[in-house]
Amino acid sequence: MTLPAHLLNRARHEAEYLLREVGGARAVVVATVDGFDVAHAQRQDLEASRMAAMASSIAALGQVVAQEAGLGTPRCMIVEAEEGYVIVRSVPRRDHPLVIQLLTDRTGLLGLALQQLSRSGQQLEAA
């Protein structure tokens, strides 16, 4: 699937923004809901295409769990690990739904990371 140039540019901008602005950010991937890398920015050597596929899978699992529990549409899924967090945010565009995956260590504040991720999701939704 080919995305419009303006959306690709916004995705690149938001990936770079999140990596720069979120304390402890290690990597950011913007992906399609079917798991293809749209844009990424990273401080460590990670395979963006694999991260995109995992982000899509995490978002899909969150969707199923939320529906089964009657919680409505999920916005964000968080995986807490010993050394940090994996946060996946859905971007429910009508034409090209996306997911953003943010990997952080524990040096930053989770609440601020969520706030910045929400902001980036809104920017991508409006693009």
How do beta strands 98-105 and 25-32 pair? antiparallel
Percent of the chain residues past pLDDT 70, beyond the cut: 99
Q: Is the pLDDT of residue 127 over 90?
A: yes
pLDDT at residue 2 in the model: 84
pLDDT tens, position by position, 48-57:
999 999 999 9
The length of the chain in residues reads 127
Hey, what domains does the chain have and what are their CATH numbers? 5-126 (3.30.450.30)
Name which of 52, 102, 53 is nearest 77 in CA terms: 102
